[in-house]
Structure 1
Amino acid sequence: MTEDEKVISEMTDGGIVGALRWAVASAHARAWADFDQETGHNQTVLGIAAHTLLADRLDRVFRLEKYLASEDARDQDVLLAGLSSPEQKSMPAVTGVERADLNNSPAWRYGHRRWFLSSFEYGKVHDIAWGRKSPTKRKIAVQAGSDSPEQFVLPGTYDVPVGENLTPVTLRELLAANERNLSDLVLAHSLDPYSGATELFLGRPRLNIGGGKPWVWLRSLLSGEGSAGSGTRVDAPERIEPTRSADVPDATVRLRPRIAGQEPGTGSVGR
């Protein structure tokens, strides 16, 4: 069994793949529902929103951070806040996952599998240049898989273009990662700003500074093997408008007394 087959099998049996699908569907649907080009939103705004919401949904579905499992009804209210009714009913409860952040980069761990988030332009999952990503992502892209020692890549294996600022990864760092028995992966996601279609992949990145494939292996989590461009349309949830309780009184308005001889409406503002 290859590494990708083993990873997908383990994560499917543990309910992780189903949880990831729910999280991306919820996050991308909300981001897409709130996206409005007429107000000045662009692809950057959409990407940031989708990425932020996906991290939030992962914490929810795994009951982490501020969503820790509890019998307290107030905690349940926090868990479900902002979700549509269908999302609340379909959200799975998955245990065994913990946060495993690295250098302030959010990550989640199941057994010895740890995954980080990375967004990409829709339809271009095979065009990712890891050398242009954060130092953390670049380190992940040169780590060896504990299941595949032949994937071990030392810094300097690839030609670094002139002017490329690449944070070096030491042999000690790589060995330390293997000693922790961690297999670092990337959960790559994309949302098409024109159609709302979603792509979701799990894979082991490959440092491709000098060009070449960005993945040692890559598996779509939405449609079997999948390929770039084979996104799945995510229906947008109903917009949740802010509500105002009828019991909240109107704010008190105080009128400034008029100075003798001053005409109404001539007072200065913000002096």
Structure 2
Amino acid sequence: MEVATGLLLRARARFEALEEPDEPLEGSMLAAENAATAFDPVGYQVARHRVRAVDALEMLMGSMHDPVSGRMEARPMAMYALVRMSVEASAVALWTIQSAKKHDRIYRALQVAYPHLTEYADFASVVAKEEDAAPYIEFRDDKARRLIGLKNDVGTLRQRELTKPPKLWRILTAVSPTVPPGRPHGVDSPYVIWKMTSAFLHGSDHLTRDLGDLEQVTESDGVGATFVVKPSWSLLCSCVAACVVEVEKLDARVRFLATTAYGERSLLPAS
């Protein structure tokens, strides 16, 4: 537990040292691509995802460790929902701006914006009568045409259909370290963390038993025995540390795009 606690405290120190990236400099790649995705600028998208990632981590760390009293606490299931929220948000944001190609970044930003419109209209259809939901459906259709127009403004994207983004597991794989075919992902891979936390959210019995600390409390009566799943402190601490790293990676990428012009010319003043 001592090693895991040390990891958590170091992760917390790094987390508290994070600074939100500044607005993009004029002439930077990010500034230009905000204009190219004007309906829902890519930089704004990334900032919203970052807020989700950071908010989940703040609540998680505050629940696990009180720096004033020194109290340490963990829950066997619920905390993994916050881990997944954080790693998923960071992954979607990083995937959106990860590519070295301008047209890829623009297309991905439009892809991410597209299902938000669909969810908006779908929710209205669920909670409202058909006639009351109609304005939301019209809004979706109008803004979808706007997204397609922005796509068509990029010459290399004109012949490409605007689709929803890939499945989340593909996005998590894309932002995880590349491994050779047949080789396993590392335990700190965003994809692995997302898979593990999904098991806790979905109640995947065999996985949660293996990943948690299982304690048998009654003897078998011939049918079964009673077990209690206790939180794995070391697993939770390692997940928190990995989530902090993902926010750091995202911030580094945002700062590069926000301070660099096309051709990788830095806009920062010479030191």
Which is richer in helix? Answer: 2
- TM-score under structure 2 length normalisation: 0.28
Which is richer in strand? Answer: 1
- TM-score under structure 1 length normalisation: 0.28
